[in-house]
Amino acid sequence: MPSQSARGLFAVLVMPLLFAASCHGGKILVFPLDGSHWINMKVVIEELHARGHSIDVIRASDSWYIKEESPFYTPITIPQDLSLENFFVLHLEKAMKAQREGASWFAHLQLMRKVMTILSQAHAVKCAMLARILDDKSLVQNLFEAKYDLVLTDPAFATGVVLAKYLKLPMVLNVRWITSGDGQSAIAPSPLSYVPVPGSGLTDNMSFTERLKNMLFYSFIVFQERFMVGPSYSAICDKYIEGGCDVVSLIQEADIWLFRSDFVFDFPRPTMPNVVYIGGFQCKPAQPLSPDLEAFVESAGEHGVIIMTLGTLVKALPDDVAEEIASVFAKMPQKVIWRHIGQRPSTLGNNTLIVDWMPQKDLLGHPQTKVFVAHGGTNGVQEAIYYGVPVLGIPLFFDQFDNLLRLQERGAGKILKLADISGHSFERGLNEVLQDSYRHNIQKLSRLHRDQPISPLEHAVFWIEYVMRHKGAAHLRTEAYRMPWYAYHSVDILVTLLAAVMVFLLSTVLMFRCLCCRGKRLSKAKQH
């Protein structure tokens, strides 16, 4: 059909020009997070660069993923006291060990406490880095003189948010988590009756006891914000921001929230006008594999391949677990590509290829890939949905259990807890996820996810340029963030109304009693 191809040509050639013409040459200051969050941010930065914007990125001197040299951005490098990479890896290994040792309630609480301690220490390290920036007079002057159009930041560590406030710039968030807890719950009404709190392992369909559990987890998060994370930021706010500030209110003040989720993945819930859902924006059509890898994948024949990776934070699985997994893989008719770092398991079969890096997206996009064994990080889960590959999930920490739960609820994945892993359970899990129903369900999610008017990445860039064009998006922001809690929940109104009703009732009762007494006295007087 010629008209369709002409339209295609129009879209390819003219649309980018229109976009580019509408807003070119903006200046953006990016304050990203390291690790897997940077993988996300980098995708947005590359797209912004391609559209002619200039980008400065604040990075720590010993940064782990954020490179000093890049064709896409200019780095602003700040010394940092402590390498967060070693810090995380060390503590997470401990946390993994604790998980293996038992799945009791107590062990679970211990683990949460540990993760919270790690996180609050990391917040303190990041705040020290921000103080170093703000104390450097010439750097601050340069930042002011650069006349940025906006700050783009990830508020899981809120240092970028405080800096945007200090520089008085519009702010766009690339967000899923804020300093403690889920981002959406920080701005949109989130009834605990059907919005599960992250970490609780609950869905949107909760029984009475589950709702009770949800409430307890919520109080845990409030506690964490007030006493473990908040104090680091309060100190910075008091010192550098005139009149002080509350970090959660600062996050709520952001102009646009580019939210790394969508409602194919997440449970439906209330949201706000300035929240833009960009889940899966990092996914692109798969590229061809390298010839070696392609040959390996094709050699699997009709059985296909299984791929396994546990993400960037885990250097090595416990040896006994790795042995069990390797022996199960050896029994499977599929070929296996396993990103495994650490000692080579002795039970490794000849169908298993061990690699220290894999082109994960291209493999997931390959029609031969049947199952993705993963830890359930947001990126991996979104990619599994985009490419339509069912997941056998081994959640390790943070949000991973909750991410995988969303797939399991839709029959598109299965969760295997680290504490429950044995050769037997792993084999059963693999065989279950290899069934057709799992593939069918995740491909349905994939079709739903891809059925959007414009791609999530274009959506993200549109809103960033929108904020540049209009110098913010304050008209989309609700007033909620300025309100004290009692006004937000109308407690003051309820108390006033209640008082009015009480006064009315009391005065009515008093009046009747008066009348009654008078009546009695009168009738007594008559009798005499």
Ligand X SMILES: *[C@@H]1O[C@H](CO)[C@@H](O)[C@H](O)[C@H]1NC(C)=O
Residues interacting with ligand X, by CB under 6 A?
A: 205, 350
Least CB distance from residue 415 to ligand X, whole Å?
Answer: 17
Shorter beta-carbon distance to ligand X: residue 47 or 294:
294
Shorter beta-carbon distance to ligand X: residue 63 or 351:
351
CA distance 324 to 313: 21
| Residue 165 Cα distances to 168, 266, 271, 285, angstroms | 5, 31, 24, 38
Least CB distance from residue 206 to ligand X, whole Å?
Answer: 8
Report CA Rg, the chain: 28
Surface-to-core class of residue 13, CB atoms within 10 Å of its CB (0-12 exposed, 13-18 middle, 19+ buried): exposed
Least CB distance from residue 105 to ligand X, whole Å?
Answer: 21
State the DSSP code for 404. Answer: H
Shorter beta-carbon distance to ligand X: residue 3 or 207:
207
CA distance 364 to 434: 15
Shorter beta-carbon distance to ligand X: residue 205 or 219:
205
Least CB distance from residue 342 to ligand X, whole Å?
Answer: 23
Shorter beta-carbon distance to ligand X: residue 410 or 428:
410
Angle at alpha carbon of residue 330, lines to 326 and 332, rounded to 5°:
120
Amino acid present at 273: P
Amino acid present at 44: V
Least CB distance from residue 63 to ligand X, whole Å?
Answer: 43
Q: Map residue 152 onto helix, strand or coil.
A: strand
Instruction: Please choose, from the candidates 245, 258, 252, 250, the residue with its C-alpha nearest in 3D space to the C-alpha of residue 172.
Output: 258
CA distance 173 to 154: 6
DSSP string covering 12-65, please? HHHHHHHHHHHS-S-EEEEE--STHHHHHHHHHHHHHHHTT-EEEEEEETT-SS
Shorter beta-carbon distance to ligand X: residue 205 or 437:
205
CA distance 383 to 362: 10
Least CB distance from residue 40 to ligand X, whole Å?
Answer: 31
Least CB distance from residue 292 to ligand X, whole Å?
Answer: 16
Surface-to-core class of residue 104, CB atoms within 10 Å of its CB (0-12 exposed, 13-18 middle, 19+ buried): exposed
Amino acid present at 435: Q
Sheet of 150-153: strand order equals 74-78, 54-60, 27-31, 150-153, 171-175, 256-259, 275-277
State the angle between helix axes of 137-145 and 105-135 in degrees (0 to 180), rounded to the nearest 10.
80
Shorter beta-carbon distance to ligand X: residue 209 or 350:
350
Least CB distance from residue 271 to ligand X, whole Å?
Answer: 21
Instruction: Please choose, from the candidates 99, 100, 92, 80, the residue with its C-alpha nearest in 3D space to the C-alpha of residue 118.
Output: 92
Amino acid present at 277: Y
Shorter beta-carbon distance to ligand X: residue 350 or 523:
350
The tokens describing 442, both together, are 């995740």
Shorter beta-carbon distance to ligand X: residue 80 or 352:
352
Amino acid present at 42: K
Least CB distance from residue 344 to ligand X, whole Å?
Answer: 17
Instruction: Please choose, from the candidates 154, 94, 159, the residue with its C-alpha nearest in 3D space to the C-alpha of residue 124.
Output: 159
Shorter beta-carbon distance to ligand X: residue 163 or 332:
332
Least CB distance from residue 31 to ligand X, whole Å?
Answer: 41
What are the backbone dihedrals phi and psi of residue 77, each rounded to the nearest 5 degrees, phi first?
A: -95, 130
Q: 74-78 and 150-153: which strand pairing?
A: unpaired
Least CB distance from residue 203 to ligand X, whole Å?
Answer: 8
Beta strands in 375-453 (DSSP E): 391-393, 413-415
Shorter beta-carbon distance to ligand X: residue 179 or 351:
351
Least CB distance from residue 205 to ligand X, whole Å?
Answer: 4
Shorter beta-carbon distance to ligand X: residue 138 or 350:
350
Least CB distance from residue 381 to ligand X, whole Å?
Answer: 21
Shorter beta-carbon distance to ligand X: residue 330 or 476:
330
